[in-house]
Structure 1
Amino acid sequence: METNRQKKIGGVLQRDVADVIQLALREAGVQGILVSVTKVSVTTDLSIAKVYMSVFPHNEGEKVLQEVNAVKSQIKHQVAQRTKNQLRRMPELSYFIDDSLEYIDNIEKAIKGEDNPLENPDLLPKRKKK
């Protein structure tokens, strides 16, 4: 169960991390890839924040995750600059791909098509637990 403080910090980080990543993509001249931060969950001691990103198109997810991890310290520094009046200590940021939108999309396509997973559940891939 998240405390109000964790939720508040998560919300602040979500907005700022999204801004920093989108700005970095624009500066790098990346076209046609949309990255949004879907959720940030913060540990109870506020030392670690898990950042979940949704990437469109889906097949670019791993590439974007590698790029983000390569410049992790710069992202953390820029977010720390933005949040210095709200946070005493900047949590360590860990990045993950949020595949829930892709998962929902696959379900909708399957239901609309002939391969209805309600009749044949083996058609859907097993969801990865995080």
Structure 2
Amino acid sequence: MQETKRQKQIGQLVQQELSGIFQRLGFNVVDGGMISVAAVKMTPDLLEAKVYLSMFQIKAPSEMLERIKERMGEIKKLLGIGLGKQLRRIPELSFFLDDTLDYVFKMEELFKKIKEDDANIKDGKK
């Protein structure tokens, strides 16, 4: 089902606010790695938000996700302060790992390997 315009607007609003909250809480740069809010998908009733986090060079992404979930109450409180004027009810947050970066890196490696193999084949034929 495609998101409505309102869902997208609220999702972007929540994403911007969460990015600021993560920065204030020190989650944006952790152990030499970076965490960013990649996307926020809202349910049609705007009461639930699926938050996709992108983790770059984080050694244990699942452990980091658990650390973030442990501070859910604090995050939601700060979200309520930031969005209280725009929303009647603050959505329930669910955090997920966004593996898009991993997928991109794997694809780049595959393309490099294909180019190398093609180059080796051409050199072998000459």
Change (3 A) 1:46 1:98: same
Cα distance in structure 1, aligned partners of 2:48 and 2:114: 44
CA drift of 1:32 comes to 1.1
> Contact 1:52–1:95 (CA<8 Å) still a contact in 2?
yes
Instruction: Please list every run of 5 or more consecutive structure 1 residues that lacks an aligned counterpart in the other structure.
Output: 117-130
Output the aligned Cα RMSD: 2.2
State the secondary structure of the residue aligned to 1:113.
helix
Match of 2:121 in 1: none
Q: 3-state SS of the aligned residue for 1:90?
A: coil
Q: Secondary structure in 1 aligned to 2:44? A: coil
Greater CA radius of gyration, 1 or 2? 2
For each residue in 1:4-51, what CA deviation from the matched residue of structure 2 results, as whole angstroms up to 9, or x when unmatched?
11111000000111111122126xx84412111111000001110000
SS, match of residue 51 in structure 2:
strand
The structure carrying a bigger helix percent of its residues is 2
- Show the counterpart of 2:78: 78
Which stretches of structure 1, 4 residues or more, deviate above 3 A after TM superposition?
none
Number of matched pairs: 115
**Aligned match of 1:90:** 90
TM-score, normalised to structure 1, is 0.80
Where do 5+ consecutive residues of structure 2 fail to align?
Answer: 117-126
Note if 1:112 corresponds to 2:112: yes
Instruction: Give the % identical residues.
Output: 36
Q: What displacement does 1:114 show?
A: 5.9
Q: Which residue of 1 aligns with 2:122?
A: none
